[in-house]
Structure 1
């Protein structure tokens, strides 16, 4: 294929809108890969004889390998995947079931997906537009408030987050029974905000309200139970009750490994939690192993610039500092900083902390 021709089209956006950048897709497609959707070089029948063209069939699945800017345009590198791609198939099947079974996502589906991808600004624009098109106190405004609350939490705006969740809960109560799973979901989210604000007693109260509803509706081995266990473990961790936290984290991981695909990001999050416990106990090799397990999962299931990846890199950096391997620590801190630079404001606690850690490692290396 002639890259220069593609660059002409990608660069053409400048002539129509100076605020828009062109995008160039670089696709690696192996025709011998089993189970792929068909594609073909159609240059010989193209209307434009001097252009090379490849046609991909509808339903083709691509793995995004890397996204970066060369200042003049965005470059997206992708690989064509087959039906039997063992990394993707379980994840895709689980995601299809998750989004078709979840009544919460019928209005906010795109917003929910964007939130889980870490695309918070795009998700907020979409949800605000949905919210503005709905009448006051419509059930779906509660759904929008819920996801806007998640975005505010990820941005570190906990007061706005708490306001969104309380509005969501108020609207849901107008339509749903007190023990509806959607109510439990909001209690769970409220618990996370109280946890972030350091109000641990209130966090436990909210998590236990959620846990009781989910147990009545789903039994003890449901994935929502695992989420409650994981969150309660986080409260105990903050309270420095590390053995209790470890028990809850392990129980959450056991359920997740039974109910989720092996590369699901929730399993990765449990590895991160257990890594934190190992780090506290001084079990550095165990902590590093958990972080590497989490990194392997996140690299397969999340976009390159996702918040969770940055948290893993930062955690690994902290372990290497304990091991006095400052070059490795610096490398991981810089990876975390690069991700947070793209998705968080410079005054966010994560951004401030990683900057200090980078300065510390550089100081140690220059001694």
Structure 2
């Protein structure tokens, strides 16, 4: 067959009706349609909500601090989780709430120095976990671009000054072996690009956690109000089903069954007692009093005061009302942990102070770390946290730390 014949045969394979011109036209139309379809698929993929991760490689992993009988898997560690909770008895207040925060900014010290992550999260249902409950943490990583959110609950990041990105591990505890692992983890992706949603220091962020009529799992929509970029994660899993809010009301006592605190279902936490991911060893468990190998800047208030703080502007519920009541709790007893490691007589010396929540009138926001300029009320500093377990839990009386209502 000559060259024209070979060309004609190829065109006929694409559905030519007989003429070379007609075949060329049909080929062009089909290629154009294929290209349009490909662009549509890519666009839908970029805009689709993120779901569970499939990769297992992880270099960092910060789990949820559980009761003593629980142990970590996947090389994860957990430590100290001082939290701030909005409190409400309104029906549905734990199922639809929007946090508004302003991201911290590096100064004379870097934000990641005091710990690798802060998170916003809450108790969700999980039929495969103890008490039928897992715990969601939307983990924000300071000075970091996340490159992987692993199925084990961990993550990989690269350094980028004053940049934030996020993963969303949901932690479960085995009903038989009491091991803590991730039931879910996904990267927070930018709906416009499909890559990680990159937020920046000083940006105002909203984190809307809610359910839909589809009952396909908790939805998390993060919007960077400053840039207009946004992304959504849906807590829907193949093996556990949809992970839904475990409680209706955002009230104290509606607490995670395998947790250490008697709190409300949803909270904001700065994960302390770990090193920066960008030192050696990275994201290492550390204790108060440690000034070397590795230094534990989490427990050094002057380090916190070296950067501009996280501003927690407030929480809005589905009906448009805002949180008026707030509580705090630490799962290590606040100052009690520092006194145990440093000795009570040394409290307040370098690496021997416990950071606290304050209300800042200049920013009209809660902050965490210390008394930043503009602080109106620091609620007793570290003493805002109850130092002994005096609240009940599933394991009996005096097995959890009570929350302190500060407003």
Give the alignment's TM-score, normalised by structure 1.
0.25
Instruction: Answer with 1 or 2: which has the greater Rg.
Output: 2
Greater relative CO (CA pairs within 8 A, separation 6+):
2
